[in-house]
C-alpha cells in the first residue's frame, strides 16, 4: 500500500496530494485550477494539485476519519459563453 502525502501552502491556497514517493514528473493542467501530476517513467497520474483549495471547501469538509478512500473523477469543463 502506498502512502498518501499532503502538502498545503496557506499563502498560495494550494493543496497537493501525492500517492507514493515523489519521482520525476510533470503537472498537466486540467483547467479551473486543477492539475494532475504525471510520473515521467510510467506516464501514470500519481497526484493532484488544487489552486484555491479553501475557496472550494467548507470547514466541515476538511475533516475525515482514517483510514479513508479517495476517488477522484475528472469532470468535463463547462464552457461559458
pLDDT digits 0-9 by tens, 15-46: 999 988 888 999 999 999 999 999 999 999 99
Check residue 24 and give its pLDDT. Answer: 92
Residues 6 or more apart in contact with residue 51 via CB below 8 angstroms: 12, 13, 14, 33, 34, 35
Q: What pTM did the predictor assign?
A: 0.70
Q: Per-domain residue ranges for the chain?
A: 4-58
Q: What is the pLDDT of residue 28?
A: 95
pLDDT of residue 3: 84
Q: Are 6 and 17 in contact (CB under 8 A)?
A: yes
* More confident of the two residues 12 and 61: 12
Compute the chain's Rg from CA coordinates.
14
Amino acid at each position: 500500500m502506498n502512502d498518501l502525502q499532503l502538502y498545503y501552502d496557506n499563502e498560495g491556497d494550494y493543496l497537493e496530494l501525492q500517492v507514493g514517493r515523489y519521482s520525476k514528473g510533470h503537472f498537466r493542467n486540467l483547467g479551473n485550477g486543477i492539475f494532475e501530476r504525471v510520473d515521467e517513467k510510467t506516464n501514470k497520474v500519481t497526484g493532484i494539485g488544487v489552486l484555491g483549495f479553501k475557496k472550494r471547501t467548507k470547514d466541515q469538509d476538511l475533516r475525515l476519519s482514517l483510514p479513508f478512500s479517495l476517488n477522484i473523477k475528472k469532470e468535463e469543463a463547462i464552457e461559458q459563453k
